[in-house]
Amino acid sequence: MNVVISSLAFFLLLSVLILIHEWGHFSAARFFKVVVEEFGFGLPPKCKALFKKGGTEFTINWIPFGGFVRLKGESAMTEKGRRAKGSFGAAPVYARIIILLAGVFMNLLLALIIFTIGFSGGNWVPTYTTLEQMEEAGKSGEIHLVMSVLIDDVISGGGAAKIGVPAKSVLVSIDGEVITSVNEVSRLQEGKSTVRYGVSSIVEGEIASEVKEFTVTLHDGKSGVVIAPFPLELSAPDRNVVTAFGLALRESNVMMVQTVIGIGKLVSSIVSTGRVPDGIAGIVGIAQLTHGAVQEGFMHYLRLLALLSLSLAALNILPFPALDGGRLIFVLVEWISRRPVNRTFEVTTNAVGFVLLLLLIILITFNDIVRLF
């Protein structure tokens, strides 16, 4: 039953992301009297025509990644076809810019709405890219934060290893004094030959209430453990909608920047090594993330939806052929030069970009499958 629910949740997630993005293009085009010839779910080749309404054919396509709207005149090779009444090329430059950006705008809007709901009703903790940011948020009251120290690893042959101090546990205290930062460890161990560790285990992501004590022999003030900062208590207070919306704007900015950085690492890794770096997920990886989010609960699922919506926005705004950002470049060049770009060059460039995107999707999906095994 869990697999069925996760499968339905995955299908719903993809459907919402794709449809809301393409609906943005579709609505903006209709507003500016541009004819939408096709609204496709998935990428060509066409699988089945569902129905036709208002001059638009709604279709399902064989490649189940993404979607598209086909506007009149987009593929026209002649200036007459490009400028025909109701075509994309006949619309004013500002209208074409709005049409191209409408999909990204809808993805951003969806993420902002979800984040605002989460930060107000779900008491979500914002994303912090550095420990300093998190600690500052704790001091300001943005979050409730109590820091401690994680015993990330235990070095073989060291004092801690000899008496069985467990790795991946929390160092709660040293000689009865509560630990809140890694800097306190060296201070409390300086000049001593032995110390008493208070340690709590981490079981399935939860910190055990029981604190076990270990008397550890030190060598040059060191016990033979690798330590790292660890949030012992991390939660968020109740927030009003205005505060939540401000955090939603901040969260969207942080995640968009991280997505662009991730895309840069992906391109760099593929060019230099031919490999997809860790942390990059394709359709199979997203399915796994969806399954995990469903197990955690509805609010976790909503947060994943918001994050993927932002990722889709960041990807589409990149100035790469076939993407919204790439097509926007051609419109801006026309606006600046006051003449349209050579149609053969534009159509060929977008076609090559489309093929490269498909190859990238295949490579990332293959990498997802390899990771499964």
Quick one: DSSP state of residue 215?
E
Q: Which two tokens stand for residue 246?
A: 């401000």
pLDDT at 2: 67
CA nearest to 147, candidates 160, 159, 137: 137
| Residue 23 confidence (pLDDT) | 94
Alpha-carbon distance 335 to 322, whole Å? 19
User: What's 144-235's CATH class?
Assistant: mainly beta
Residue (of 28, 27, 233, 246) closest to 144 by Cα position: 233
Which helix (H) or strand (E) element contains residue 245?
helix 241-273
Which token pair is 335? 């606006």
- pLDDT for 65: 65
Question: b/e for 125-155, b at 16 or more Cβ within 10 A?
Answer: bbebeeeeebbebbeeebbebebbbbbeebe
C-beta of residue 138 within 8 angstroms of C-beta of residue 144: yes
- Model pLDDT, residue 361: 80
Return the pLDDT at 340: 81
Say if residues 189 and 164 touch (Cβ distance below 8 Å): no
Of 333, 323, 285, 296, the closest CA to residue 103 belongs to 323
Residue type, 94: Y
- Given a cut of 50, the residues of the chain with pLDDT beneath it are none
Residue found under tokens 């030190």? 218
| Dihedral sign, Cα of residue 43, residue 46, residue 51, residue 56 | positive
Domain regions of the chain by residue span: 2-124+246-372, 144-235
Q: Rounded to the nearest 5°, which phi and psi values hold at 127?
A: -85, 130
Question: CA-to-CA distance for 142 and 40, rounded, in angstroms?
Answer: 43
Q: Report how far residue 290's alpha carbon sits from residue 122's, in angstroms, rounded to the nearest whole number.
A: 19
**Within 13 Å of residue 243, how many CA atoms lie on the same side as its CB?**
15
